Structure 1
């Protein structure tokens, strides 16, 4: 049986809303904790679609399992398996495609406005989106755009928020997978890392304003990405 795989790297960066979308459509998936060595037991040749989630580490860290994941992603890219990267996952895709990932001089966090990059008006990954919309952010690294990829989105604090590589690969710098519970968990456990005096960051209080409504809108943004990804894999009809 073919598989949908979700690569995760830490317990508090789960599939989130992506898992909900898959379960609602009766699509089975396998979560693979790459940081715990689970990738070694996965038969990548059976993968129909792969999503890569976030994590606190950098793609440039000297972790053996990151090197294993890089090799796996290069194999999946060569076989044109539909891939969808979230934050660290997007950075891992950029690295696997030969683009550098570098530390930014600040952290971008909270609800940030995204707009389309020049030339991205008709890209099918963005067909469901308005010209400007919000996405939840929490990152200190940023990817460059790989050679041959199309830049898709930008924010005031990060020019490279997303790129498409061919028709089947989407790399995102932000976190469309967030649920209300997951945002509250992050803010309860990690709010001490925030610095609201930096203009690129929001305070805990700012992130919680109209949270239910904002997450509802974010879910619809995410679903457009996820359904296009599943269509590219032939797992749902157009």
Structure 2
């Protein structure tokens, strides 16, 4: 089976537990204003590889990531744009005894079969905002498919980490954060919320691609704002990082 990817990398702690082999698939239906990986937007910019080739590459790191308590994370782009390819990699990694994680916006959650999710030990669910108007402003898309997928994951009891990018003046409204916190707390399967401070590190990447970074003039959140948002999640009994 073939898929289209942009790259792979090793990471620690942020893409699932332990040291992870992270595969970045090509193609994404959203255009988040703070996206750090614009090179993954279009499938035609990726390269085609077989599942066998990817599994061979994972195999070269298997001992290292196993000893480090890690596993394999399928990210992007949006992995659910290529559901069969993603499902194959998750199944084969899971069957080989590696911890598996799926990093997704949830927009295409309906494409994830129950069998795929059974092979997924952890879902990294990016909920960009709770308020529909804010979500569309951030991403260009609707929030309801993501919320529907979150409820489905809860019904299946799939362990989930929610990711929320905190952008001053864009996603930081008290009402937006509070509504998201209440929703996430109601699910019962969310192990933690990663509050990710916005940064401008991708500005140079956008320039190299001939693109304009939409938030080039926005400053990262200060400590007071970070503390407030963490409190808003924690007051509902949610662990945050």
Instruction: Return the TM-score normalized by structure 2.
Output: 0.36
Give the number of the structure whose alpha-carbon radius of gyration is greater: 2
Structure with the bigger RCO (C-alpha within 8 Å, sep 6+) is 1
Q: Which has the higher strand share?
A: 1
